[in-house]
């Protein structure tokens, strides 16, 4: 998640500049270099290639009924269900247990927490005894006022739109699966992959808050304190990430067939 952390650092940097003169040190440039190197590695490296390099490698002759390991994607005989994967040791399951119920409960919790996460202040800046509460939208507005439109769009998308996309996307998938609908199966599967991939970008504001709270502690001059909105927002991010991991896309295809 280093690239998300780097964007969080950029947002925190713009806030720090309002307090005093800030320059990027050697550690900051090293972090940017590490992020670029990681992105290059992520573009080149195929996780399946790494797993397939480990024994027992490709399944040479697949049985009539097989299941896929959730961790390393090795196809094994379905009779090995609930036993350890021969390659990575993860427990082999035909489908994720209680997938629909768990995802439904987490999505409902996510919707409930989304409201306080966006209404309540996520941090308060105290300057000479005067308190300035900041909400997520307030932070985006501040970036726009400072002329940082690209960063404002990134933060608005990651903190406001992405959690909503995840919650409504998962709700649609749960509803259509329970209705045994065969509509848009390919599109729903692609949407799930998108939701699962972009979910971690919502951590930008959390990284920014943690950096500001740690760095701006100048007593009566300027102090930043986290507020209850940050806890609600962190809960939304974590819950939606767990919800997307709990959902089993294969259930959509099972339901359509039945
Ligand atoms: Zn495995």
Confidence band for 168, pLDDT divided at 50, 70 and 90: very high
Residue 216 pLDDT more than 60? yes
Contact yes or no for 132/225 (Cβ under 8 A): no
Give distance in angstroms: CA of 196 to centre of ligand 1: 20
Look at residue 43 and tell me if it is in a domain: no
Domain membership of residue 190 as a residue range: 96-257
SS3 59: coil
Give distance in angstroms: CA of 245 to centre of ligand 1: 17
Give distance in angstroms: CA of 90 to centre of ligand 1: 5
Give distance in angstroms: CA of 91 to centre of ligand 1: 8
Output DSSP code: residue 96: -
Q: Which residues contact 133 (CB under 8 A, 6 or more apart)?
A: 121, 123, 124, 227
Give distance in angstroms: CA of 66 to centre of ligand 1: 13
Check whether residue 62 and residue 108 sit in a common domain: no
Give distance in angstroms: CA of 135 to centre of ligand 1: 43
Give distance in angstroms: CA of 74 to centre of ligand 1: 6
Give distance in angstroms: CA of 251 to centre of ligand 1: 20
Check whether residue 184 and residue 135 sit in a common domain: yes
Mean pLDDT of 105-112: 94
Check whether residue 233 and residue 133 sit in a common domain: yes
With a pLDDT cut of 90, the percent of the chain lying above it is 14
Q: What is the pLDDT of residue 58?
A: 54
**Which among 205, 207, 203 has a CA at the least distance from the CA of 240?**
203
Look at residue 167 and tell me if it is in a domain: yes
Give distance in angstroms: CA of 55 to centre of ligand 1: 11
Contact yes or no for 176/188 (Cβ under 8 A): yes
Q: Of 44, 74, 94, which residue is a domain's last? A: 94
Residue 54 pLDDT more than 80? no
Read off the pTM.
0.79
Check whether residue 253 and residue 240 sit in a common domain: yes
**Which among 236, 230, 2, 19 has a CA at the least distance from the CA of 142?**
19
Q: What is the pLDDT of residue 147?
A: 80
Give distance in angstroms: CA of 85 to centre of ligand 1: 5
Check whether residue 71 and residue 116 sit in a common domain: no
What span, in angstroms and rounded, lies between the C-alpha atoms of 4 and 176?
Answer: 32
What span, in angstroms and rounded, lies between the C-alpha atoms of 2 and 83?
Answer: 34
Give distance in angstroms: CA of 65 to centre of ligand 1: 17
CATH number at residue 189: 1.20.140
Give distance in angstroms: CA of 34 to centre of ligand 1: 29
Identity of the highest mean pLDDT range in 10-24, 39-53, 63-77, 168-182: 168-182
Give distance in angstroms: CA of 63 to centre of ligand 1: 17
Give distance in angstroms: CA of 46 to centre of ligand 1: 16
Give distance in angstroms: CA of 104 to centre of ligand 1: 27
Number of domains in the chain: 2
Contact yes or no for 74/68 (Cβ under 8 A): yes
Give distance in angstroms: CA of 163 to centre of ligand 1: 30
Query: What is the average pLDDT value for the chain, to the nearest integer?
Result: 84
Q: What is the pLDDT of residue 97?
A: 84
**Which among 182, 184, 187, 230 has a CA at the least distance from the CA of 206?**
230
Mean pLDDT of 184-211: 85
Look at residue 17 and tell me if it is in a domain: no
Q: Of 48, 73, 94, which residue is a domain's last? A: 94
**Model confidence over 139-152: pLDDT tens digits?**
888 878 878 788 78
Look at residue 12 and tell me if it is in a domain: no
């Amino acid at each position: 998640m280093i690239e998300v952390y780097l964007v969080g650092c950029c947002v925190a940097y713009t806030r720090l500049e309002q307090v005093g003169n800030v320059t990027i040190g050697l550690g900051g440039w090293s972090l940017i270099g590490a992020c670029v190197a990681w992105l290059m590695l992520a573009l080149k490296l195929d996780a399946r290639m790494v797993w397939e390099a480990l024994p027992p490698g490709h399944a040479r002759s697949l049985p009539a009924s097989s299941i896929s390991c959730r961790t390393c994607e090795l196809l094994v005989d379905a009779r090995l269900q609930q036993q350890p994967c021969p390659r990575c040791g993860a427990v082999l399951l035909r489908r994720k247990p209680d997938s629909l119920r768990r995802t439904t409960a987490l999505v409902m919790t996510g919707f409930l927490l989304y409201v306080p996460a966006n209404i309540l202040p996520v941090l308060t800046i105290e300057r000479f005894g005067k308190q300035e509460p900041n909400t997520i939208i307030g932070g985006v507005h501040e970036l726009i006022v400072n002329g940082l439109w690209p960063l404002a769009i990134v933060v608005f998308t990651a903190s406001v739109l992405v959690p909503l996309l995840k919650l409504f996307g998962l709700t649609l998938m749960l509803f259509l699966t329970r209705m045994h609908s065969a509509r848009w199966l390919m599109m729903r599967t692609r949407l799930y992959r998108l939701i699962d991939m972009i979910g971690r970008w919502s951590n930008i504001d959390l990284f920014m808050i943690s950096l500001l709270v740690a760095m701006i502690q100048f007593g009566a001059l300027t102090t930043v304190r986290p507020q209850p909105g940050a806890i609600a927002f962190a809960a939304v991010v974590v819950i939606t990430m767990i919800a997307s991991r709990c959902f089993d896309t294969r259930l959509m295809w099972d339901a359509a067939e039945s």
